[in-house]
Each structure stands twice: as C-alpha cells, then as structure tokens.
Amino acid sequence: MPAWTLIAPEGVLLFCALLALFADVLVRGRERAAAWIGAAGCALAAGVSLYAGRGQLFGGQFSIDGPAQVARTATLLLAAAFLVWLAGEGLRRGRVREFAALVLFATLGALLMAAARDWIVLLLALETATMPAYVLMGFDRSDDRSLEGALKYFLLSMVASLLFLYGASFVIGMSGSTAFAATRLQGGTIGIIAAAFVCAGLLAKLSAAPFQWWAPDAYAGAPSAAVAFVSSVPKIAGLAAFARVAQLLMPQVPQVGPLLVAAALASMFLGNLAAYPQTDVRRLMAYSGVAHAGYLLVGLATGTEAGLRAAVFYAIAYAVPSMGVMLVAARHGNTLDDLRGLAARRPWVAWATVLMLVSLVGVPPLAGFTGKLYLFTAAMGVGLTWLAVIAVAMSVVSAGFYLRIVRAMFFTTSAKPDIGGAQPAASAAVIVACALAVLAIGLASSPILSAISAGR
C-alpha cells in the first residue's frame, strides 16, 4: 500500500472544505449542500483512514499507530454525524456554507494533531484545529455575548499556544531536534520549566483546571451548534496528542506526574461542583467538560500504556454523548426551562438524552462506565488507588446536575411550543445514532481497545 495513503484523509478533508466554500455557486439555491458534501467527505476519509492502516511519513514527523488511527477515525465519524445534523437543521441565520467549511478545517487540524510526531508539526496542527473554532464560537455576529465569549476563547487560547511554544522551545533546544523521538530533557530546573509550560499550554486547550475559566463564558455566548462541535470532536485528537507528549515527558521529568494528578483533582472538583447552580445547558456542559478533562488526566497521570489506551477510549466515550446532548439543546432550547416537558412533546428525544446523560455519569453497560472502569483500573495499577476513589466519588456527585436535565424533561411542564415544529429526519437520525453509539461503544469496548493497542 503506498505510503501517501496515510495522509489521504487530510487531502480528502481539504478538498471538501474548499468545495464547501463554493457550494452555493456549484449547487445554486441549496446552501445546505455544503454540509452534505462535508459529511460525505468525512465518511469517505474515515474509510480511507481504516484502509490505509499504520505507518510513517516525512521522516517520522507524521506517524499513524493504533491510538492515532482510532482517534482519527472516531473524529471523522463524529464530524460526519455533526455535519449531517447541520444539513438537516441548518442555522437560524443561514450561512451554512461557511459553518461547514470551518468545521472541516478544524477537523483537518484535529487529524494532524493525532498523527504529529514533531513539536513544530504539533503546534501547527493545534492552531489549525483551534483557529476555525474561534470563528465558530463567535459565529452569531449580532450577539454581543457570542462575540465576548469568542474573544475570551481567542485570547486565552493564544496565551495557551504561547505557553506551549515557550516550553517546546526549551525542549527543542535541549534535544537539538524537533522530533519527538529525539526528545532529551536535561534534569534540573530548566527541564521542569520546559515540561510545565508545555503541559500548561495543553491543559488550557483541553479546558482543564486551572485554565478552564474561559469555557463557561465562551460556551454560554456561542451558538449551541458551535458548542456541540467545539466541545467534543477536536478533543479526541487533542487528548491523543496530549497523551503522546505526556509519555515523552514523564520518564524524563518525574514532576510531570504529580502536576497531572493535581490538575485532575482540581478539574474534577471544580467542574462537578460548579455545574450544580447552572441553568444554561451550555454552561452546565462546559463545567461537565472540565470535570471529564479531570477523568482523562487520571489516565495520563499513570504514565502507562494501559492509562494511554483508557484515556483515548474515554475521550471517545465522552465526546459522543456530549455532542448529542448539545445538539438536543441546539434544537429544543439552551436553558433548563426550555427543556421543561420535553418528554411529553418529544418522548424519543427525551429518552435518547437520558441514555447519553447516564453514560456521562458512568452507568453500566454504557460507554462512560466502561471508559471510567479502564481509567480507574489503570490508576490503581500504579498505586493511585486514592485518586481512583476520589474520581468515583466525583462521578457520583455529577449525577446530581445531569439529573436536573432529566427532571426538567420528565417531571415538569411547560406552555412553550416546540421550537421549529417537526424535527428533520437527518437531525433526528443523528440524535438516535449518538444515543445508540454510547451503548455500542460500551458493549464493543474490547475490540476498540485492541485497535488502540495495535501498532504500539
């Protein structure tokens, strides 16, 4: 099989993104054609990613192994599902063409992140993934809150990029090379500073504590459709890249392990407790994302292959229901009051949402439970039993604020009419698919973990 097929998914996405920009010219009167083109391109790229297998390109700067292949394929499939939803629902202010193109460019950056094996390539991939996200978060230019949230996201993300670049410059200087394989950190203060800055930059990108403060404001002001994508799809590849960096740094700088443990504890406590008073679903899910970043960091803090596999698996197990819940909010309303009585108006939507929420809590046999089981088992395997116990307790605590959504849908009534009338078949299919996927991922966890382990 030709080596160039390894980067063929990126080529497909780039072509589709450029095609989406001109979709209204190529297919007049059908603005949503851009979203259909993007969905088809992502599905095709996912098939190519599976077919191409594993290997290296560009002298090892670009490498596909088990975690990268699984993360790339999951990212593409989730992006395809989002674009199908977008094609069915559209946007209240139109401009689907630009929105779909930005989603494709962000997904392209995410794919490069998962496969990057070079510090410069990783930085460029990070920016390729996040720059379109700035525009998506401020897509509603008539809403001051949206623009304010997008500006906060932009400023903190730029600071995070500078922190990462500053730390990476130390790493490159000490190693004499930009390649991951040649990374050699000298002991002492300089090595600790380099690792700390690199980790700080990546923690901010992951919206983990103590760099999570931008997320609630940015999410609350942004269109729900943008939040659904930004809060879930790029995080799979971002976690895979962070896991790779953590595995490079931890053997050479032992202080990285305690740093990740501290970030995990802070994220779990702040995310779960701050979510309770929220009445806006976007802010609630923002704090939920902070808490789940803490669970992911539990896996990375182990510094083991088992922890890496569990973290990549859990990133997928989190992203699917998180996107599904936000797509429900995008359709039926952003606040708990908007969701009042949803079970009476749209019972299948309400039950699908329940399935996704209980997966986020970690109820068996759903994906969230299986992912947390692997994470906490990996932590106990390296003597972090106390951290696993705290994570289990925080998972129980999280049930309280997720059940507030369930209560609004099933145990309250509302005189508000259903937004937008009947739900299009395409967007309905995506909600159902997300709900079924959390069950399928939980039941098929062994093959997925085997695929992640392959090529390591």
Q: What is the pLDDT of residues 256-308, one digit of tens each?
A: 999 999 999 999 999 999 999 998 999 999 999 999 999 999 999 998 888 99
Coil vs helix vs strand at 302: coil
C-alpha separations of 183 from 89, 91, 178, 253 in Å: 47, 46, 8, 12
CA distance 178 to 117: 9
Q: Report whether pLDDT(418) > 70.
A: no
pLDDT score of 325 more than 70: yes
The predicted pLDDT at position 412 comes to 81
* pLDDT number for residue 313: 94
Amino acid at 144: D
Average pLDDT, the chain: 88
> Which tens digits make up the pLDDT trace of 60-83?
788 888 888 999 999 999 999 999
Average pLDDT over residues 134-139: 86
Give pLDDT, residue 452.
86
Q: How far apart are CA 387 and CA 399, in angstroms?
A: 19
pLDDT of residue 124: 92
Q: In this predicted structure, what is the pLDDT of residue 50? A: 84
Angstrom distance (rounded) from CA 356 to CA 36: 25
Strand partners, 118: 179
Q: Give the model's pLDDT for residue 187.
A: 67
pLDDT of residue 439: 94
What pLDDT was estimated at residue 351?
A: 93
Q: How confident is the model at residue 145 (pLDDT cuts 50, 70, 90)?
A: confident
Inter-CA distances, 87 with 76, 224, 294, 339, 386, Å: 16, 15, 33, 23, 46
Distance CA 373, CA 362 (A): 9
- Across 24-28, 100-104, 252-256, the highest mean pLDDT is recorded for 100-104
pTM over 0.85: yes
Q: What is the pLDDT of residues 193-227, one digit of tens each?
A: 999 999 998 998 888 888 887 888 888 888 888 99
Per the model's pLDDT, the better-predicted residue between 32 and 45 turns out to be 45
Quote the pLDDT of residue 34: 85
Q: How confident is the model at residue 49 (pLDDT cuts 50, 70, 90)?
A: confident
pLDDT band at 104; cut points 50, 70, 90: very high
Could you tell me the pLDDT band of residue 168, with boundaries at 50, 70 and 90?
Answer: very high
Provide the residue type at 330 as one letter: A
User: Does the pLDDT of residue 148 top 60, yes or no?
Assistant: yes
DSSP string, 23-92: HHHHSTT-TTHHHHHHHHHHHHHHHHHHHH-SEEEGGGTEEE-HHHHHHHHHHHHHHHHHHHHHHHH--T
Output the pLDDT for position 54: 78
Helices (H), 333-384: 342-345, 347-361, 367-381
Over 60: is that where the pLDDT of 8 sits?
A: yes
* Digit-coded pLDDT (tens) for 344-378: 888 899 999 999 999 999 998 899 999 999 999 99
**Is the peptide bond between 277 and the residue preceding it cis, with omega within 30 degrees of 0?**
no
pLDDT at 188 over 70: yes
